A and B are shown apart, each in its own frame.
Chain A
Amino acid sequence: MKEEKKLKVFNVGTSWFVKPLEDQGIEHYNLDWSPPAKIDKDISSILKKLGRK
């Protein structure tokens, strides 16, 4: 039987699935995440012209 490494969970998204990790005593981290800002098409094209993404 293999010697197992320690399970460590990083949650990205809804916090709903954090409680099961707590209830089972799993070491876990909640990582902050939000959707990338949507850039208006006009601003995006200006930024491209300026040589930036």
Chain B
Amino acid sequence: MEEKYHVIEGRYIDSVLLMQISREIEKMQGVSKASCMVATAENISFLEMAGFHPPSGVSGNSVIIAVEAESSKKCEDAINNAINLIDTGMVQHKTSYTLDDLPDLISTDDFPVVFISTPGEYAYDVADKSLDSGANVHIFSSNVRIEQELRLKTKGASKGLFVMGPDCGTSIIHGKGLGFSNALEATGDIGIIGSSGTGIQELSVLMDRNGLGVSYAIGVGSNDLKESINGIMSKQALNFLKERCSAIAVVCKKPDPSVERALLESMGNIPSVFISLGSDKQYSSGNTYVTGNIDDAVSHLMSKIGKGRKIQQEAFPKMKEPGKDRKLLRGFFVGGSLCYQAQAILHGKGVHVFSNAPADEQYRVEKDFDNLNVCIDTGAEEYVAGKPHPMIDPVSRNSFLVRESSRNDVRVILFDIILGYGSAEDPVAGLDKMKNGPVLVASICGTEKDSQGYQSIRKRLEDKGVVVFRSAARAAEYAASIMR
């Protein structure tokens, strides 16, 4: 086999386009593996893990094309094809409009939303200009400075416009999803306010499955309920939804107590749930039910507005003892909120897990977690720098699952699969290589109408011996039961 590399210096190419080009050139005859990536240190080490030997001294400002093929000529053909796809791919996305045209494209009959997924350092300027043009913004980008977020939200609120994000993965406006969302079936008028994207997806899917229709989900970004932002957009969203919805759900992580209190006081008499993921609170305040668990919140809404229906929880299958030497739990999540919720459930059942995104700071761990129980958020910045989010490209997350499944000291492997708009067409790619030594436990967040096909994904996992749950909380509870 031959290897060749090509470096394109100082050019911006979005990581999703690079992933798509990698897939294309991997299909070429004679090519055994190929990768096009932004040359961050993280990605260079990923290439090395994949068996490449990239040249040293490549800067993070560059794109590296790495190819392994049966001959030098095939490598060169693949590299030339990649360069060509980069050039034509960029041209294909050219349109005749820019941000300067925005005021002319918006009419008074519109609910305009600018969806921003530029690198974080540029997102503020784009959002600011969009607000000046009278558009709401949904900022998918992360790494926007907190003082910039505050300025954007203060400006948005003064104009009656939404600033959804930064770091906002999911919104639903008039029943249509933006970013990562699911093809929901139930009709209804429940509104969600969420500071966590996969929290909104899990909640909306579980509601949908139980006949509760969601018409709005206002994603507010992970900082909105912190003291520094003071819930500016959550409060605006609450007022907006109270005029349109028959019930409201808030889903968030670690809200500032004063922001939480202010929101609870503003709920009024509308039936509502407030989910503070990871919290062990469980009480009612007026017509609002406060909990730390998404399933519990859906059960409560069912009892309040579900016309007597009850949520059906899946039974735990009988477990086969995986072996007494197997003691470790490995959780690898693409959904940060689901990772967070799993930790809280496991801790609550006496299984202490470490994480790069810990529910409890004393359990923080970075990458050296060899002999610990862990729940890792593989969508966290340190895992995605210069790469698409694992919900878009699950290859690196799934490679962790395959690697850990072959260890003889791992008892349980816990993971999530997220279907829907924006998610990978094959989120279980590569998982057929998982070994069955540990008990494999997964949850699928998705509906029958999602393009990936809920049933076919579920069957592929079950054929590999994976125990599959519809709810991430239930999967974590099952994992805990195996660890005890």
Q: Which A residues are within 8 Å of any B CB, using their own CB?
A: 1-2, 4-17, 19-21, 23-24, 26, 29-36
Please name all residues of chain B whose beta carbon is closer than 8 Å to the beta carbon of A8 when the two chains form the complex. Answer: 105-106, 110-113
B101 CB-CB contact with A under 8 Å: yes
B39 to chain A, nearest CB (A): 16
Please name all residues of chain B whose beta carbon is closer than 8 Å to the beta carbon of A35 when the two chains form the complex. Answer: 12, 118-119, 122
- Chain B interface, number of residues (Cβ within 8 angstroms): 47
CA distance A21 to B101 in the complex (A): 20
Tell me if B116 and A32 are in contact (CB < 8 A).
Answer: no
Please name all residues of chain A whose beta carbon is closer than 8 Å to the beta carbon of B181 when the two chains form the complex. Answer: 20
Given that A5-B110, A10-B135 are known contacts, is A32 also in contact with B97, CB under 8 Å in the complex? Answer: yes
Known pairs A4-B174, A10-B102, A10-B112 / 8 extra A-B pairs, C-beta < 8 Å? A2-B243, A7-B113, A8-B105, A10-B135, A24-B177, A31-B114, A32-B95, A35-B12
Tell me if B122 and A31 are in contact (CB < 8 A).
Answer: no
CA distance A22 to B349 in the complex (A): 44
Tell me if B101 and A31 are in contact (CB < 8 A).
Answer: yes
B11 to chain A, nearest CB (A): 10
CA distance A4 to B113 in the complex (A): 14
Tell me if A13 and B116 are in contact (CB < 8 A).
Answer: yes
B427 to chain A, nearest CB (A): 15
Please name all residues of chain A whose beta carbon is closer than 8 Å to the beta carbon of B115 when the two chains form the complex. Answer: 9-13, 17
| Chain A to chain B: the 9 pairs with minimum beta-carbon distance, closest first | A13-B117, A20-B421, A5-B111, A16-B16, A13-B118, A14-B14, A8-B110, A14-B16, A10-B114
What are 27 of the A-B contact pairs (CB < 8 Å)?
A: A4-B111, A5-B110, A5-B111, A7-B173, A7-B174, A8-B110, A9-B112, A9-B113, A9-B114, A9-B115, A9-B178, A10-B112, A12-B114, A12-B117, A14-B16, A16-B392, A17-B140, A19-B421, A20-B178, A20-B421, A21-B178, A24-B177, A29-B95, A31-B99, A32-B94, A32-B95, A35-B12
Tell me if B422 and A17 are in contact (CB < 8 A).
Answer: yes
Please name all residues of chain B whose beta carbon is closer than 8 Å to the beta carbon of A24 when the two chains form the complex. Answer: 176-177, 421
